[in-house]
Amino acid sequence: MDFAMMRLDDVLLAPVSAAMDDDDAEAFRHQVLTEIKRMEASGLVLDISGLPIIDSFLSRVISEIATAAGILGARCVVVGMRPAVALTLLQMQRPIAGVAHASSLVRGLEKLRAMLEEDA
Amino acid sequence: MTSPEARQQLLQLLLQQRDEVQRQWLLNLYKQDTNWSERIDDSALHAEVDTFLTLFIDALQTTEQWDSIQAEAFTALRRHLIDLSNSRVIEGFTPSETALYVFALKQAMHHMAGAGADEKTQSLLSELLSVEVLLDQLGLLTVESYLNHREALIVEQSATILEMASPTLLVWDHVVLLPLVGVIDTDRAQVILDSLLTAISETESVVAILDVTGVPVIDTQVAKHILTAVEGAHMLGASVIITGVSVETAKTLTKLQINLGDVITRGTLRAGLRYALHLVGVHIEKNA
């Protein structure tokens, strides 16, 4: 499976699709990290606005991608989480913590720029 | 018309036949739809019936006033029945089932009174009893409907209170305020969390102010709910500022060693709002 991703200067934009099963999630993780390495990205935006629900596996994969991206030198922002998804994660007591979040793509990019400026 | 002789006669009969009355009462109970044997321990039910009869006969022997249970002599019996009803509530019996427990004794008494009578009187008594049972059931229907309706009202009212108690206000562009009022239990925490996340998402807020001025106590449990809300808001890309923390609360939190972590807190709503505006890059100054 090949996932659609977009490059904005040194930032990789990766939308998480709703219809991902566990294998797809692994493939997605691999593709995102490979792409970060290849383009020497300094930022990653994971867009999860297309997710109406979430399970514990996918939430873990998302946190792990964020951490792994950091190791590869890219700061990560998760954008567009729906309230229902946040509620589910809180109920499972598995919030996606330790990563920046933003409500929309635009705000996410703003936040990422601010973070990168801080790093510089 | 009451006559002392008849009353004495009945009392004597009751004293003589006590065991038989008790047996009949239990038989009647087991005939009811209530399914006593499955819902209450047999020996417990026997003990309850026995206690009731003892207190009942005692009361009848003590007083001449048989027309009102408010008489002094019935105090112990009343107390027994109130305790019994309270435990029936906890055990999940309906009001009717609880009342029919006592009504079953009436049938047993009828049985006892009619035992010596001729056939004609007996059949008349039995018909009378059927009508009485019908009337009891009709009376219970009114009680049951009354209670059901009142319960529905209470449920409706608590839902309204729950809703009213967690409004969300957009106080500035991308700054939402939730004034929390009253005790925060788990149910309310869920409602608050829900309205917080919905409000952040709908208003695209980047800062949410939770004002706890109206929350009387913040203990470990409430602090946990607040931290959950902070986490939830964070996942939607919003920061949370807790405002209106009282001196008492600050003392409690430190004494209980509750760690609010990196949560931004301010003593007053005003200070919180100022900080929120700073976060969204708004600068306010007086007209020159």
pLDDT given at position B6: 84
Please give the average per-residue pLDDT across A64-78, as a whole number.
Answer: 90
Whether residue B216 is found in the same domain as residue B233? yes
Q: At what angle do helices B119-164 and B95-114 cross, to 10 degrees?
A: 170
Q: In this complex, do B231 and A87 lie within 8 Å of one another by their Cβ atoms?
A: no
Q: In this complex, do B206 and A103 lie within 8 Å of one another by their Cβ atoms?
A: yes
Question: Is residue B286 one of the residues assigned to a domain?
Answer: no
Q: How many other CB atoms are found less than 10 A from the CB of residue A63? A: 18
Last residue of a domain, one of B160, B184, B201: B160
Q: Is a pLDDT exceeding 90 seen at residue A102?
A: yes
- In tens, the pLDDT along B42-56 reads 888 999 999 999 999
User: In sequence order, what are the residues at sequence separation of 6 or more whose Cβ sits closer than 8 angstroms to the Cβ of residue A77?
Assistant: A43, A44, A45, A46, A99, A100, A101, A102, A108, A109, A111, A112, A115
Question: Is residue B193 one of the residues assigned to a domain?
Answer: yes
Question: Is residue B285 one of the residues assigned to a domain?
Answer: no
Q: CA–CA separation, B24 vs B105, rounded Å?
A: 8
For chain A, domains (ranges, CATH) are 6-119 (3.30.750.24)
Q: Is a pLDDT exceeding 80 seen at residue B210?
A: yes
Give how many domains chain B has, as a whole number: 2
Whether residue B16 is found in the same domain as residue B154? yes
CB A56 within 8 A of CB A68: no
Q: Is B228 on the interface with A (CB under 8 A)?
A: yes
Question: Is residue B284 one of the residues assigned to a domain?
Answer: no
Whether residue B141 is found in the same domain as residue B184? no
Question: Is residue B189 one of the residues assigned to a domain?
Answer: yes
DSSP calls for B59-122: HHHH-S--S-TTSGGGHHHHHHHHHHHHHHHHHT--HHHHHHHHHHHHHHHHHHHHTTS-HHHH
Strands A11-15 and A6-8 come out as: antiparallel
Q: In this complex, do B231 and A104 lie within 8 Å of one another by their Cβ atoms?
A: no
Which residue of chain B comes nearest to A92, CA vs CA? B228
Whether residue B189 is found in the same domain as residue B150? no
Question: Is residue B288 one of the residues assigned to a domain?
Answer: no
For B175, phi and psi rounded to 5 degrees?
Answer: -125, 115
Whether residue B72 is found in the same domain as residue B152? yes
Q: CA–CA separation, B238 vs B210, rounded Å?
A: 12
Among B160-174, B185-199, B221-235, which stretch is predicted with the lowest mean pLDDT? Answer: B160-174
Strands A100-102 and B264-265 come out as: unpaired
Q: Is a pLDDT exceeding 80 seen at residue A86?
A: yes
Which residue of chain A comes nearest to B205, CA vs CA? A103
**Looking at residue B197, which CATH number applies to its domain?**
3.30.750.24
pLDDT given at position B3: 76
User: How distant is the Cα of B89 from the closest Cα of chain A, in angstroms?
Assistant: 32
Please give the average per-residue pLDDT across B227-233, as a whole number.
Answer: 91
Q: Range of B89's domain? A: 4-160
Whether residue B106 is found in the same domain as residue B197? no
> Over chain B, what is the mean pLDDT?
88
Whether residue B69 is found in the same domain as residue B151? yes
Interface-testing mutation among B186, B200, B235, B279, with chain A (most A C-beta atoms within 10 A): B235
Interface-testing mutation among A81, A82, A93, with chain B (most B C-beta atoms within 10 A): A81
Whether residue B16 is found in the same domain as residue B146? yes
Whether residue B54 is found in the same domain as residue B82? yes
Last residue of a domain, one of B114, B138, B160: B160
Question: Is residue B287 one of the residues assigned to a domain?
Answer: no
Question: Is residue B201 one of the residues assigned to a domain?
Answer: yes
Whether residue B155 is found in the same domain as residue B232? no
Last residue of a domain, one of B117, B143, B160: B160
> For chains A and B, what is the number of CB pairs under 8 angstroms?
55
pLDDT given at position B35: 83
At B2, is the pLDDT very low, low, confident or very high (cuts 50, 70, 90)? low
User: How distant is the Cα of A79 from the closest Cα of chain B, in angstroms?
Assistant: 7
Please give the average per-residue pLDDT across B253-261, as a whole number.
Answer: 75
Whether residue B122 is found in the same domain as residue B253? no
Q: In this complex, do A103 and B194 lie within 8 Å of one another by their Cβ atoms?
A: no
Whether residue B55 is found in the same domain as residue B81? yes
